[in-house]
Structure 1
Amino acid sequence: MTSPVWHPFTQHGLNEPIPHVVRAEGALLHLADGSTLIDGISSWWVTTHGHCHPRIAAAIAQQAGQLDQLIFAGYTHEPAETVARGLIEIAPYAPGCDPLAHVFFSDSGSTAVEVALKMALGYWHNLALDGLAEARSRILVLEHGYHGDTIGTMSVGERGVYNAAWAPLLFDVCTVPFPAPGREQACLDALEAACRDKPAAFIVEPLLLGAGGMLLYPPPVLREMAAICRRHDVLFIADEVMTGWGRTGTLFACEQAGVVPDIMAVAKGITGGAIPLAATLATARIFEAHRSSDRARLFYHSSSYTANAIACAAAVANLAIWREEDVRGRIAALTDGIATRLAELAAHPAFAHPRQLGTIAAIDIVTADAGYLSDLAPRLRAFFLRHGLLLRPLGNTIYLMPPYCIDTEQLDCVFAALVAAGDHFSA
């Protein structure tokens, strides 16, 4: 019987097989036919400690029998309060920078970024109402960026085939060139020039652009980006949805540059990947610009499931795991393991441009048909599926982002499959 399900980022006209997963544990997915897959991308970058982590699963079960859902407009509950305090405690901090001090909950990375954009525009709008500043509405973005698939997040992301159908709905932005090797100063000069026109905010994925091709840039560039924004009083928004929760080797990527953003979006690994939750963190000045005795000036954003108690309980458990277990040690070991194997893979003539940041690694398979819509992508997905792997290349770019619990044998299997793919598709 044909399934009625419409899957995301899936062209159903290609009739590609859709594996039926019935169970998961650690880095493994168990399929209905009895086979298993190694989850090499943490099921779209969300699963940090491994699937069905016992502490997180137990927290979800306990909370489900106590308080499942509560309207969060004017009400609160302890799981949300605990998560908010925990996020503020672990947020990036640097002397001389205003700390992140307030947490607004939502339910996905796209929504967390939408909230960040609305906070930034609301900040300038309210200052203008009080006669404290000129109104600002322009957003600066980084070339090749990706921030989600809602209208606002598509507007601040790279334009292309994946959002062309909705172009009439997208608002205009000013794009700063990506700081590719040798082009770092051109990026910074362009940002400096754009900031002179008094935009509202500049949004970046810190250190690594994900869906834009797993593109890296160094911490000093991120640090100078933030400094330029500070000099011109432009709000600096860090989208840590993908880079957060240890993926880049530190808890948040901003830490590597000593940067504290004015607004920071987090999601994905906030619950260890078990259940949807997101948050947008802001400094006190952003919050205070919205606080008023005038009810018309409240922050107009919400969703029915804001700060869902079950999701927050999962996040509380995740924060406890980070405090009480050697997660950073696992990340360091996995980073080293990937680095050793990636160096060996880079010698293969089928591959080019190996790159790594923490537990994230990427490499391009050499083909005349390069790019996001490369015909190689579906063939690579099918190849890896036959070899017992869940990998989802971005065109001809193969990337890895495994859960931190992946063991040595499983990691060897992943890289053996990459070698086999190089042999097969270069033949």
Structure 2
Amino acid sequence: MTSTDHNTQWAERDLAHVWHPCTQMKDHESLPPLPLRSARGVWLEDFNGRRYIDAVSSWWVNLFGHSHPVIAEALKDQIDTLDHIMLAGMTHGPAVELAEQLAQLVPDPLTRCFYADNGSAAVEAALKMSFHYWLHQGQTRPRFISLSNSYHGETLGALAVGDVPLYKSTYGPLLLDNIVVPGPDCYERAEGVSWEAHSRAAFAAMEATLAEHAHSASAVIVEPLVQCAGSMRMYHPVYLKLLREACDRYNIHLIADEIAVGFGRTGTLFACEQADIAPDFMCLSKGITGGTLPLSVVMTSEAIYQAFYDDYPTMKAFLHSHSYTGSALACRAALATLSLFRASDVLADVRAKGAAMEAAAAPLRDHPHVGDIRRHGMIMAIELVQDRATKTPFDWTQRRGRRIHRHALTEGVLLRPLGDVVYFMPPYVINQDEIEQMVGAAIRGIDLAVRD
């Protein structure tokens, strides 16, 4: 049996039983799932020995490359010592050490660490904590405020505070009543208007909403700087600064969903740092374990923690749990990941490589079907349009982004465009040659995709 037969065989076995996430399974009739047998660094390898650059960090989770020896060795050591215990009534070294280290890294006054399993679970916990906190203050605040085009996860609470119809509209009857505010998306700015000026002006809608609804809403939740699942739309840090000031004035919590942008993606360890603010809750996940195991965290303040701290009969405890909360293996992977940040100036490297990615995309600056090239750190997006002058999009049913995905595979690059937005979020260990191959494959794919 040839290696090619192995690829086909694995794909056929998969399609007999596996239901893939975020996928119309019928698409696999024309493009079967890509079977992979190994991954190292930025490279994925299939059963035919063909390699692909992981340009999207396997849904944004991989920071330092696949099969990183430091993380792998930490996991091998941990599995021989302690695999998992429940964190209710017990504790273990990795959970304690990780909480200590995170408390030193996140902005003050976030000192308390609540573990969960994934990003959606962290958002759910933060929403419940915020609502429950206000109950302890004698206030019932059943609503939340979020930005248009936002995305915070797929569980019902997280989905409710998002605003991407593709994911949300089907489940509308199941969701809580959320307040959506027009966001500061800088793609929508007028010609000649700076990112900062546009983001400042956009804050007027949030100010008005807070003035009207702050008394009935527990928190504002935002993705700092980049709305990742919302087509990688971006905005200026000044919006976060204005939001923090307004949340303080109106006495409402601020939840920062740093699940996708945390741990260096935007060029600072946390995106909130670029506005010099601290939220009341910070949700972390994805890159926290370097792309090895599921783990998420909600960081919050001592003041919020103390609102739940009382004698048991008062029933003030936060009774929220997951079976694998604080997994020793996942925490150990996270500790190894944090050690890699300490081992070198990772953030400076991220900023330099982000600039290199943007330079590689320079040939697209005047492309008649490119409406925007935008970047924060090592997150870069290219927006395809039918008409550059008016930013008129292509008909979404033409699925031009999928054409780019298919072409990139032929050049050894794994892209996963969001509709007609091609984005790059590669592992930090990508080198210059790999950057040029990655962006070059996208450029050639774009040229093919926009032909009628």
Match of 1:298 among 305, 317, 321: 317
Once the 2 structures are TM-superposed, how far is the Cα of residue 107 of structure 1 from its aligned partner?
Answer: 1.0
Unaligned runs of 5+ in 1: 94-98, 129-133
Match of 2:334 among 286, 294, 315: 315
Contact 2:384 / 2:393 at 8 angstroms: preserved in 1?
Answer: no
SS in 2 for 1:38: strand
TM-score, length of structure 2 as denominator length:
0.89
Q: Deviations over 1:255-281 (max 9, x none)?
A: 000010000000011011111111000
In the alignment, the residues of structure 2 paired with residue 426 and residue 173 of structure 1 have an alpha-carbon distance, to the nearest angstrom, of 37
What are the within-5 Å matches in structure 2 for residues 220-239 of structure 1? 220-239=238-257
Q: Deviations over 1:17-58 (max 9, x none)?
A: 211011011100011111010000101000001111100000
Q: Deviations over 1:115-155 (max 9, x none)?
A: 11011001001111xxxxx3222200111000000000100
In the alignment, the residues of structure 1 paired with residue 450 and residue 81 of structure 2 have an alpha-carbon distance, to the nearest angstrom, of 56
TM-score, length of structure 1 as denominator length:
0.94
What are the within-5 Å matches in structure 2 for residues 208-219 of structure 1? 208-219=226-237
Q: Relative to 1, partners in 2 of residues 1:200 and 1:371: Cα closer, same or farther, differing over 3 Å?
A: farther
Determine whether 1:84 maps to 2:99: yes
Q: Relative to 1, partners in 2 of residues 1:159 and 1:397: Cα closer, same or farther, differing over 3 Å?
A: closer
Contact 1:373 / 1:395 at 8 angstroms: preserved in 2?
Answer: no
In the alignment, the residues of structure 1 paired with residue 397 and residue 224 of structure 2 have an alpha-carbon distance, to the nearest angstrom, of 25
In structure 1, give the amino acid aligned to 2:223.
E
In the alignment, the residues of structure 2 paired with residue 291 and residue 276 of structure 1 have an alpha-carbon distance, to the nearest angstrom, of 28
Once the 2 structures are TM-superposed, how far is the Cα of residue 378 of structure 1 from its aligned partner?
Answer: 2.3
Q: Relative to 1, partners in 2 of residues 1:200 and 1:378: Cα closer, same or farther, differing over 3 Å?
A: same
In the alignment, the residues of structure 2 paired with residue 194 and residue 371 of structure 1 have an alpha-carbon distance, to the nearest angstrom, of 33
Residue of structure 1 equivalent to 2:81: 66
Contact 2:75 / 2:329 at 8 angstroms: preserved in 1?
Answer: yes
What are the within-5 Å matches in structure 2 for residues 413-424 of structure 1? 413-424=437-448
Match of 2:409 among 385, 388, 413: 385
Residue of structure 2 equivalent to 1:10: 23
In the alignment, the residues of structure 1 paired with residue 396 and residue 326 of structure 2 have an alpha-carbon distance, to the nearest angstrom, of 35
Match of 1:203 among 221, 230, 238: 221
Contact 2:256 / 2:282 at 8 angstroms: preserved in 1?
Answer: yes
In the alignment, the residues of structure 2 paired with residue 253 and residue 302 of structure 1 have an alpha-carbon distance, to the nearest angstrom, of 28
Contact 2:267 / 2:348 at 8 angstroms: preserved in 1?
Answer: no
Residue of structure 1 equivalent to 2:120: 110
Q: What's the RMSD between the two structures over aligned residues?
A: 1.6
Q: Deviations over 1:290-339 (max 9, x none)?
A: 11103522101111000000111101111111112231232122122112
Match of 2:420 among 396, 418, 421: 396
Contact 2:151 / 2:164 at 8 angstroms: preserved in 1?
Answer: no
Q: Deviations over 1:174-233 (max 9, x none)?
A: 111111336535532222222233121000000111111111111111100111011111
SS in 2 for 1:30: strand
In the alignment, the residues of structure 2 paired with residue 379 and residue 418 of structure 1 have an alpha-carbon distance, to the nearest angstrom, of 10
Once the 2 structures are TM-superposed, how far is the Cα of residue 344 of structure 1 from its aligned partner?
Answer: 3.1
* Count, aligned residues: 417
In structure 2, give the amino acid aligned to 1:370.
F
In structure 2, give the amino acid aligned to 1:38.
I
Residue of structure 1 equivalent to 2:46: 31
Unaligned runs of 5+ in 2: 1-11, 191-197, 387-391
Contact 2:54 / 2:413 at 8 angstroms: preserved in 1?
Answer: yes
SS in 2 for 1:103: strand
Match of 1:44 among 59, 66, 79: 59
Contact 1:371 / 1:396 at 8 angstroms: preserved in 2?
Answer: no
Determine whether 1:167 maps to 2:195: no
Q: Deviations over 1:347-392 (max 9, x none)?
A: 3333221101100100112337637665223222212222211110
In structure 2, give the amino acid aligned to 1:30.
E
In the alignment, the residues of structure 2 paired with residue 146 and residue 231 of structure 1 have an alpha-carbon distance, to the nearest angstrom, of 26
| Identity, % of aligned positions | 39
In the alignment, the residues of structure 2 paired with residue 421 and residue 402 of structure 1 have an alpha-carbon distance, to the nearest angstrom, of 18
What are the within-5 Å matches in structure 2 for residues 142-153 of structure 1? 142-153=147-158
In the alignment, the residues of structure 2 paired with residue 201 and residue 398 of structure 1 have an alpha-carbon distance, to the nearest angstrom, of 32
Once the 2 structures are TM-superposed, how far is the Cα of residue 284 of structure 1 from its aligned partner?
Answer: 1.1
In the alignment, the residues of structure 1 paired with residue 261 and residue 275 of structure 2 have an alpha-carbon distance, to the nearest angstrom, of 13
Q: Relative to 1, partners in 2 of residues 1:192 and 1:13: Cα closer, same or farther, differing over 3 Å?
A: same
Determine whether 1:121 maps to 2:139: no
Determine whether 1:271 maps to 2:289: yes
Q: Deviations over 1:61-90 (max 9, x none)?
A: 100010000010111001000100111111
SS in 1 for 2:153: coil
Residue of structure 1 equivalent to 2:69: 54
Contact 1:331 / 1:358 at 8 angstroms: preserved in 2?
Answer: yes
In the alignment, the residues of structure 1 paired with residue 293 and residue 13 of structure 2 have an alpha-carbon distance, to the nearest angstrom, of 28
Contact 1:348 / 1:422 at 8 angstroms: preserved in 2?
Answer: no
In the alignment, the residues of structure 1 paired with residue 84 and residue 147 of structure 2 have an alpha-carbon distance, to the nearest angstrom, of 37
Residue of structure 2 equivalent to 1:350: 369
